[in-house]
Structure 1
Amino acid sequence: MANVSEGKSPVGFWASSTDRHSIIEDMQGVVAGSMLAALGVTLLSAAHLLIGGTAGLGFLLRYSTGFSFGVVFFALNLPFYWLAYKRLGLAFTIKTFTAVALTSVLTEVLPSLIPIAGIDPLVAALFGGLLIGTGMLALFRHRASLGGFGILALYLQDRLGWRAGFVQLGLDLVVLALAFLVATPFVILCSILAAVTLNLTLAINHRTDRYIVR
């Protein structure tokens, strides 16, 4: 009864408190966040849009070379795990690696399971950006990310108090500027809308002074 009164779950993997997630809660958060992000990527890909971060670089390489997005996205994130480990810890690194791997696999599988044809680019931008942003929000709240710029953005928020969403937005705009090499102005405009939707979702909803559970 003492555990219950203290807000803690008493058994094994379910053990949690009012200020810390349990292992089961973290697993659910990582899986759910990855699923939402992968679905958002699928929507953007169906409309031939881009996004910022390493995902945006993955889109650029896919559209310009034909390489698999999932493989490229997984590979692009490899250099960032050292920063994650050194600055944010082993648990964060493991959960982030899991999220990136799961998202990479799902982005390869979902198009055949959920065929999407003829989606309006503006609709894809809004819903895709929102889904990816919500997925990243779930990951951030369980001390994980989708790697790449997300690791850097979360690190800067923890260390300097900079909003993760605004940091990532600035980095994303650099990536989107490169999109002029492979996309039309309308596609780039819709891609910027997706990036703004994603990062506003993070900036408005992810604040460490409001959400303290780890």
Structure 2
Amino acid sequence: MFTGIITAVGQIKSAQAKGDGLHLVVEVPSGYLDDVALGDSIAIQGACMTATELTETTFALDISRESLNKTIGLDKVGPVNLEKALRLNDRLGGHLVSGHVDGVGKVTHFATVVDDAYGSWLLQIEAPKALAPFLAYKGSIVVNGVSLTVNKTQDSNDACIVDINIIPHTLENTTLGKLKQGDTVNLEVDLIARYVARMMETQAK
């Protein structure tokens, strides 16, 4: 489990073919892996992965074709959001996150909020229609591993537009500040919303 609070921004240094998937090597800040052991889980851009090799400043992982088909941003060199797995005595600063990407969304708007004294930005994402039942005003959503609050939803025939306000601190300490219109992002819906929807579905039968 994770919280959606990014603990470091790493860099995929290499992505080499391995079977039908890839073998990735990720570089991290000094000291980041001091409490990580082989086999530990680390979320990369919101996707839970297993550390298979460790050095002082890098870890490696194998990613399957299935995971590559369901996510974005894990198949090439570049910066990535990182979060180590949650411990039972850790603070839950964001919300409960499984690290399983539910769908890929598209950035339709990303710009500063006019007349906002805090310098926040408005991020609009077109989420797959299948995720619409799990997205609600003031509910939680994970974007590339970052726990964020939904400020508005708007349903259409084939998608759900989600409005999110992002503060400067989040932009400076994650990869979200590099987003632009047209980019795709990994999305995970709220875990509790998923179970509530399933309960209602079974009760309706």
Higher RCO by CA contacts (8 Å cutoff, separation 6 or greater): 1
Normalising by structure 1, we get a TM-score of: 0.25
Structure holding more helix per residue: 1
